[in-house]
Structure 1
């Protein structure tokens, strides 16, 4: 980003992109005219010439229950080593299964992705660990292996943690979704942040997003700015750097200096279409080096509502799927729904919410269809007192704002209006029945323009927060015996009209739905790493 570019110019570019990339009932956001199958991107990035380090498949050895992890009970911290780093990656960015139908075969991963296109790439930066030399490594989920991209010429990182970088290949999403793809890439970063935080918690570790690191510094650390290494390949955009450690990161935490880079990125498609709007918003949302915001300390809450699900954390992480349709009859108990909502509240040491250093800026608004002892209608979970004040000022003045009978007092859940919302939810979700056949659907409403006026690059962070909340619901749904799915196709302003949002102070950024899944029995499910039987 040119230093002379003003915050106002950045904001104008971001708002222009945001408005242009909205779906509307009379027209969808600009996209490709059909799918160019010959240019479908390769789903796995690799670096030819980089030293390969195979990782063990050891996650099944973790005895940790999901019920413990979701409650913040991390247990004893595991030592950092090649094996434990492998477990972290296996349960966050690794494969969860293969699906097959006839001659077609495709991989699913622990971290969700829009259209299963997976624009997110992961990198490990570590000091010397047992069986893993200090360096910068790219993770190849297909092979459960690390590619050593660079050495480190100093020992800036302490031995009780490492850095994990996340990047996006925008083309992977743009191939199918066109201009709106940039949004989906940011959702997926949020999904990945949460997936890493959950996996780390099963190892007794904590994750914290480093919000003061510039995109330029992330690119330099991970080698994304090395044009020769990407000469024929699609670019990767730096997104976020995460600290993964036995404790919170030291302050200050100087970034290590990589040297002796190796490897050239593979080309994913014979040709690609450049979406100028994506390039422009990515430049406008580029983060400079900034002072960290004051760390948000949430108000004390009662322990997270317990669940009796006996599954191991690793089982739930790999069991997660995106439902493709719902049965239209499955309901949730009120207790199960309240437990899901409780998991969306910020707690100081509960993953993955404790990975984010800022206060909640996103509130889910629910279309409740089938929750026992809860009237169908429109509900809001405010998540934060400041956010609640904004919502009460900006939403329709005639909403009831009634506390919900039977809901635990510490959960800020409010009934806005009692009504059958199935048709409205389906219409807003581009007519998709998954929004009406579910137990409930929702839209994530975020504080918007006032935040971006000061720090335009936080446009991405708002989407990250929605993706993180979506991953919570994915796993909570699996543990409750139902299933969730993210919805990227929705009519933005139709949702705003329903709620009475008349300006850009609030915006709907991501939709989601949970219900009883209908399984497609034509599909065959295969183990994730049967082809790597030698890696034990």
Structure 2
């Protein structure tokens, strides 16, 4: 095993929550020094985007056949709409004197470690250069200018993580949550592009050092100590339905040879009372090198129509994380349940149109209230070729009763599993009061021993699945919530797993929400109009 793989595996083991102890985090939260959720660069020219909030004709069900959506023209208005629906504000919440923003892309603890950048070489759209998107102001900050270089006109979008934003609250486990959020953000970007008849090509072959150079993240002098950004993903935007063009690294290099850089990142926190050096260690060990390009063609699956077939842009903006569920609500309709699970299987629709790698995650479901389905513990394999491996690895007490339906699905144990779901998810009632909750079980040690950076990719995949669950819950007239706090080894113990071949990386829950009437909801961008 390589030193990098050993570092990653040790990090994962060390940051597990246990029934008798939680992973290391701050003993108290310095609320007066909470990191600013909006990164800005001082000394940059800003470009105000056209007003946000436009609704598109595309319905959520239309995204099941993205090739049939008429492409919108590539204009600054539509580009701004893409950024808004991917990374922009969706609302403000207020409770007493406290006020905070919600965004279209979810985030652990609403801390938003993910930053989005635009690299444009299309002079008809924007002055060529590197831009940073500021969601609060819905504008672009010009970080670099490309002068005097000709080349293929293209638009790229890069994602990075500010690990400090998560570590401020979650300590050592924060690196996991940052990777979840990257998966959510990639899926949000894929959905938003499809609403416009566009697509996102994930350039998974790009190495982290190259992405850092393209986004200006390697310019350490431009960032405050302990608040630097880690490069994560680089994507190419396609607006005309053309075949994937791939990464034109040589063409990009020509532009950067003449680039002029501007600005410095403003400080996010005044103090950094706690330090978590293990995050820097695992980030270095999980650094991704340049790899061979991979592209996937996914099968077309027929999904039943969603029960709330709203405009996709409206549904994206109304997405929320439920804080409480009605444990006595009517059961979820079977058609909604089946659509949600079908949407989690690799298929030729967003966000899998932006995902290059074969499925590594399978789903363990705690079913509480689904019409026509007996409560119990269930298993959904996302790649049927792994099923015999699971039957050998799981507890011999499981019955593996096949459930009739449009996909491969098994009941492991029948009966009330609400208490088990609650206990395993850090004693949180949201896992037991919902219609169903689930754990995402990843093919683990083999991936990391092969290439340590795949550790991050496993969390990206789980976040991508989480974003599907969020939007499909809204389309079913219910609500979802990601659960990052769970007792890792206790979950594995319930399944009978005894090694690191498989690990649970993310939990999720869906059901009928209970709204908190004390919270006021305010429009996302009223402050711009004011």
TM tier relative to shorter chain: over 0.9
TM-score by length of 2: 0.95
Report the Cα distance in structure 2 between the residues aligned to 1:390 and 1:292, rounded to whole angstroms: 29
SS in 1 for 2:222: helix
SS in 2 for 1:392: helix
Report the Cα distance in structure 2 between the residues aligned to 1:141 and 1:428, rounded to whole angstroms: 35
Decide whether the 8 Å contact of 1:74 with 1:202 is kept in 2. no
SS in 2 for 1:513: strand
Decide whether the 8 Å contact of 1:71 with 1:304 is kept in 2. no
Decide whether the 8 Å contact of 1:71 with 1:303 is kept in 2. no
Equivalent of 2:47, from 49, 53, 78?
53
Decide whether the 8 Å contact of 1:22 with 1:491 is kept in 2. yes
SS in 2 for 1:508: strand
SS in 1 for 2:338: helix
SS in 1 for 2:301: coil
Is it true that 1:250 corresponds to 2:249 in the alignment?
no
Decide whether the 8 Å contact of 2:379 with 2:409 is kept in 1. yes
Report the Cα distance in structure 2 between the residues aligned to 1:492 and 1:88, rounded to whole angstroms: 36
The 3 A distance-change label for structure 1 pair 495 and 136 is: same
The 3 A distance-change label for structure 1 pair 253 and 74 is: farther
Displacement of 1:106 in angstroms is 0.3
Displacement of 1:304 in angstroms is 2.4
SS in 1 for 2:2: helix
Counterpart position of 1:341: 341
Equivalent of 1:77, from 71, 96, 117?
71
SS in 2 for 1:477: helix
Displacement of 1:58 in angstroms is 4.7
- Written as runs of structure 1 = structure 2, the 5 A alignment for 1:517-532 is 517-532=513-528
SS in 2 for 1:146: strand
Counterpart position of 1:499: 495
Report the Cα distance in structure 2 between the residues aligned to 1:437 and 1:304, rounded to whole angstroms: 27
Counterpart position of 1:191: 184
Counterpart position of 2:276: 275
SS in 2 for 1:28: coil
- Written as runs of structure 1 = structure 2, the 5 A alignment for 1:368-407 is 368-405=367-404, 407=405
The 3 A distance-change label for structure 1 pair 153 and 217 is: farther
How many residue pairs were aligned? 521
Report the Cα distance in structure 2 between the residues aligned to 1:386 and 1:133, rounded to whole angstroms: 49
Decide whether the 8 Å contact of 2:211 with 2:234 is kept in 1. yes
Report the Cα distance in structure 2 between the residues aligned to 1:492 and 1:260, rounded to whole angstroms: 47
Displacement of 1:393 in angstroms is 3.1
Decide whether the 8 Å contact of 2:106 with 2:181 is kept in 1. yes
Counterpart position of 1:224: 217
Report the Cα distance in structure 2 between the residues aligned to 1:463 and 1:67, rounded to whole angstroms: 27
The 3 A distance-change label for structure 1 pair 100 and 251 is: closer
Displacement of 1:70 in angstroms is 3.8
Counterpart position of 2:30: 36
Report the Cα distance in structure 2 between the residues aligned to 1:326 and 1:412, rounded to whole angstroms: 28
Q: Which moved more, 1:170-179 or 1:379-388?
A: 379-388
Is it true that 1:444 corresponds to 2:440 in the alignment?
yes
SS in 2 for 1:212: coil
Task: Write out per-residue CA displacement over residues 199-220 of structure 1, whole angstroms, 9 at most, x where no aligned residue.
Answer: 0000111112211111100000
Report the Cα distance in structure 2 between the residues aligned to 1:80 and 1:56, rounded to whole angstroms: 13
Q: Which moved more, 1:105-114 or 1:124-133?
A: 124-133
Displacement of 1:125 in angstroms is 0.9
Report the Cα distance in structure 2 between the residues aligned to 1:301 and 1:400, rounded to whole angstroms: 31
Decide whether the 8 Å contact of 1:368 with 1:439 is kept in 2. yes
Counterpart position of 2:197: 204
Displacement of 1:367 in angstroms is 0.1
Counterpart position of 1:18: 12
Displacement of 1:399 in angstroms is 2.1
Equivalent of 1:465, from 450, 461, 468?
461
SS in 1 for 2:362: strand
Counterpart position of 1:287: 288
- Written as runs of structure 1 = structure 2, the 5 A alignment for 1:91-490 is 91-153=85-147, 158-159=152-153, 161-231=154-224, 234-246=227-239, 247-251=242-246, 253-254=248-249, 256-257=252-253, 258=256, 259-272=259-272, 273-293=274-294, 295-298=295-298, 300-330=299-329, 331-347=331-347, 349-405=348-404, 407-408=405-406, 411-490=407-486
Report the Cα distance in structure 1 between the residues aligned to 2:50 and 2:59, rounded to whole angstroms: 21
The 3 A distance-change label for structure 1 pair 248 and 443 is: farther
SS in 1 for 2:459: helix
Report the Cα distance in structure 2 between the residues aligned to 1:396 and 1:158, rounded to whole angstroms: 56
Decide whether the 8 Å contact of 1:213 with 1:290 is kept in 2. yes
Report the Cα distance in structure 1 between the residues aligned to 2:521 and 2:426, rounded to whole angstroms: 29
Report the Cα distance in structure 2 between the residues aligned to 1:414 and 1:208, rounded to whole angstroms: 34
SS in 2 for 1:367: strand
